[in-house]
A and B are shown apart, each in its own frame.
Chain A
Amino acid sequence: MPAPTATADLKVGDVAGYADIAFEEKQRIVSLVIDDPRFTDYLYGCYECGICVAACPSARFYDFSPRRIAQALARRDVRLVYQQIQEDIWECSQCFSCLRCPRGNNPGGLVTIMREVAVNNGLASAREALEGYSRIIYKIMSTGTQVSPDMLQPDAFPDWGPEVKDVSDNLALWRRALPPETLHTVSTGWDVSDQTLIELYLIWFETGALNMIGEVDKGLHMILEEVMQDRLEEAGIEI
């Protein structure tokens, strides 16, 4: 795989909304995408048939095109790929409808790699995209469950109708009415065992997933790290 070159781009333009960075830094970031071991399985060649765009739900609502993602990477167009990392890729819903590509490309998978690179390198767009999700990230990483019943506040969901107030006022009671005992919880989606939590925390530490959060949200990273370290220490595990 040839490295992207300084002159391969077919477009000169800067990313709107973010401070521009040196070309060499863009090149480094784009190389991380192209050198990813999954890359060669996700991008063969594109004949611009547009079937990925036709299948793409995001393309209906945003100025987003999986075809442009594949094309820009196929061309090793450093400036354009960097621009897409900062802008386009956050409009993909990662539904992978684009996998119907007749050439066997996986534009959604390319977006996955690009997002990982954006998060790992603390790009401004990644920070911004994840800003609204800090509570969800906290919930998933600290409990292993995403949405908990106590997040169901009537103020937050007026469109759910008047019943939601009754449900949230008597949440514990409603939850106890559910037959499986593992669902008699309000602060997590289901009852998470100690063993599961400890294994989960170890996975976050060992895989570097926790460090990824550090690149985009330092405060959240600090809180999570403390919660996890305390729990692991209780279990006699030193990190």
Chain B
Amino acid sequence: MSGQRIVVLGGGPAGLNAALGVADLGQQVLLVEPREFLGGTPVAERYASITGSFEDAETAMARLAGRLTESALAEVRLGTRAISLEGSPGDMRIGLEGPGGSEVVTCGSVIVATGFQHFDPGRETQLYGYYEYPDVLALQDLESMLKDRAVVRPSNGQPPERLCFVQCVGSRDRNIGNEYCSKVCCGVASKEAIEVREQLPNCEVFIFYIDMRMYGYWESQIYWPAQERHHVQYVKGIITEVLERNGRLLVRGEDTTMGRPMEVLMDMVVLSVGMEPSAGTREMARILGLAQNKYGFIDAPGSPLDTVTTSRPGVFAAGAALGPSDLEDCASSAGLAALRAVSVLRQSEMIGT
């Protein structure tokens, strides 16, 4: 039975961790990734650094991927996606389509780690002018600039003197339909704010927020240093619209601290976009027949005490395919998914299937 393998769909933080977990437990694992590289969204979107540790994101993801590819029990197929799934736990057949054509692979269980995509700020929140003004960006756009150490206004190539973040774009909004908190944007925006202040010491940085959600150690790793050492200005109150004014951006909102409306000029506006299920997550839910919650993420009926078991026996999920997740969540759910996936094989072994 030890020859039987587990298939992991997705090569991002959760998929890599899940596959590593399976290999560490002594089981063969096949990781399937539609992109031509490992590392997932942090690599695809060119994140500058890991929120919390400030480590270079590409380096961190390469280290994780390297550990997996060095494992004798792991096999990775890039440019490949799942197209079908049949069978029952311990005896499954998954159809794969890749550069070499399609084939059916037998496996004991499947882990879905197909992740999230950034909320498209042009979808509902037209008031922020994401597709209208070149100097209105989203978190991942700024990540990429920070990675290149080239934070400049796309409109004129000049470094900004004033930059602000607008929190909760596409999250916690009944009108948009995403009622959930995307969990990471407060930390990511604050981390980027610190990096902007480090790369452009003369640029003033503001964060307009509803409430700052800096879980656990992010408080002392990110939030307090952002305020106390880097003088990032946190202003409680959300921007209602962004307008162009003499070549700059006028943001309008309420300064709730001081209890009055405000209009402030900015050179760059960064929208702290939330998480939505990736196209891959929606597609896999459909192909594998997994129940989704009302937001499209993969449903874990046993949550919160079992965060990884899906509605289909033998299929587990990990990371942001399950809902908004930070990297710690990805590592945690990936570990649990690996354990559950391997235990399916062990149980099959015991009852002699």
Contact = CB atoms under 8 A, between A and B. Distances in A.
Decide whether A and B assemble into one complex.
Answer: yes
B224 A71 contact: no
Contacts of B212: 47
Interface string A32-52: 000000000000111110000
A170 interface: no
Interface string A1-41: 11001011011000000000000000000000000000000
B162 interface: yes
Interface size class of A (residues with CB under 8 A): 20 to 34
A44 B224 contact: yes
**Most chain B CB atoms below 10 A, which of A7, A10, A47, A67:** A10
Contacts of A7: 161-162, 204, 265
Contacts of B257: 48, 67-68, 71
Interface string A44-69: 11111000000000000000000110
A74 interface: yes
A135 interface: no
A44 B258 contact: no
B327 to A, nearest CB: 24
Interface in B205-236: 212, 223-224, 226-228, 231, 233-236
A80 interface: yes
Contacts of B255: 10-11
Interface in B82-119: none
A74 B236 contact: no
A48 B236 contact: yes
A71 B258 contact: yes
Given A48-B236, A75-B233, A11 B260 contact: yes
A231 B239 CA distance: 64
Contacts of A8: 204, 233
B227 to A, nearest CB: 3
B258 A45 contact: no
Interface in B257-311: 257-258, 260, 262, 264-265
B235 A44 contact: no
Contact of A11 (B226, B233, B234, B258): B258
A7 B234 CA distance: 16
Interface in A149-189: none
Given A47-B212, A68-B257, A74 B162 contact: no
Nearest to B259: A68
A68 B258 CA distance: 7
A11 B224 contact: no
B212 to A, nearest CB: 7
**Most chain B CB atoms below 10 A, which of A5, A45, A103:** A45
A11 B227 contact: no
Contacts of B264: 10
B2 to A, nearest CB: 53
A48 B211 CA distance: 10
A10 B236 contact: no
A74 B233 contact: yes
Nearest to A13: B260
Contacts of A75: 233, 235
Given A5-B204, A10-B235, A68-B258, A44 B162 contact: no
Given A7-B162, A68-B258, A71-B257, A44 B231 contact: no
B227 A80 contact: no
Given A5-B204, A7-B265, A10-B235, A80 B258 contact: yes
B227 A44 contact: yes
Interface string B235-268: 1100000000000000000010110101011000
**Most chain A CB atoms below 10 A, which of B204, B212, B236, B258:** B258
The 7 A-B pairs of least Cβ separation, nearest first, read: A45-B227, A44-B228, A45-B228, A71-B257, A75-B233, A10-B262, A10-B255
Interface of B: 161-162, 201, 204, 212, 223-224, 226-228, 231, 233-236, 255, 257-258, 260, 262, 264-265
Given A7-B162, A46-B227, 7 more contacts: A10-B235, A11-B255, A44-B227, A45-B226, A47-B223, A67-B257, A71-B257
Interface of A: 1-2, 5, 7-8, 10-11, 44-48, 67-68, 71-72, 74-76, 80, 103
